[in-house]
Amino acid sequence: MRVRLTKMFHFEAAHDLPTFPPDHKCRRLHGHSFRFEVLVEGEVDPAQGYLIDFADIKKAAEPLVRRLDHYYLNEIEGLANPTSENLAKWIFDRLKPSLPLLKSVIVHETCTSTCEYLG
């Protein structure tokens, strides 16, 4: 049986988007209550009855949450231009080595705006 599991995480952070026009609101320093979803996909081991322990997903993601939470994203290596697109890829690239079943990362910048990175 093929399944997809999702685990959600959240963090608070500030950023500005330096490639936006000078008069755009996102060019100014501002913050978000970010959420991101980690999606893994694969075949369920029939003997175990599950794909992966949710605790293993949490273990892989928690160091990233600690690195992002209550920080200025632009100062984090690899996030000089922390758009939702770049943030989703940054998270994905750091999770993939410890989560080989990783399918995608979805970043929720606001309650109505998301970005999914498929690797």
Q: 42-92, pLDDT tens digit by residue?
A: 999 999 999 999 999 999 999 999 999 999 999 999 999 999 999 999 999
* Overall average pLDDT of the 90-119 stretch: 97
In which band, very low, low, confident or very high, does the pLDDT at 35 lie, cut at 50, 70 and 90?
A: very high
Would you mind telling me the total number of residues written for the chain in this entry? Answer: 119
Question: Can you read off the two tokens belonging to residue 119?
Answer: 């690797």
83 close to 113: Cβ distance less than 8 angstroms: no
Q: Is 26 annotated in the active site?
A: yes
Q: What is the pLDDT of residue 71?
A: 98
Average pLDDT, the chain: 97
Q: Give the orientation angle of helix 84-95 with respect to helix 54-68, to 10 degrees.
A: 130
Task: Give yes or no: 111 in active site.
Answer: no
Are the C-beta atoms of 95 and 38 separated by less than 8 Å?
yes
Active site residue 70: yes
User: Strands 102-108 and 30-43: what pairing?
Assistant: antiparallel
By the 8 A CB rule, do 51 and 45 touch?
Answer: yes
Q: How confident is residue 111, by pLDDT bands cut at 50, 70 and 90?
A: very high
Among 43, 70, 75, 85, the active-site one is: 70
User: Residue 19 is part of which domain span?
Assistant: 2-117
Q: Count of domains in the chain?
A: 1
Which candidate in 26, 32, 37, 116 is catalytic? 26
Q: What angle do CA 114, 96, 19 make, to 5 degrees?
A: 45
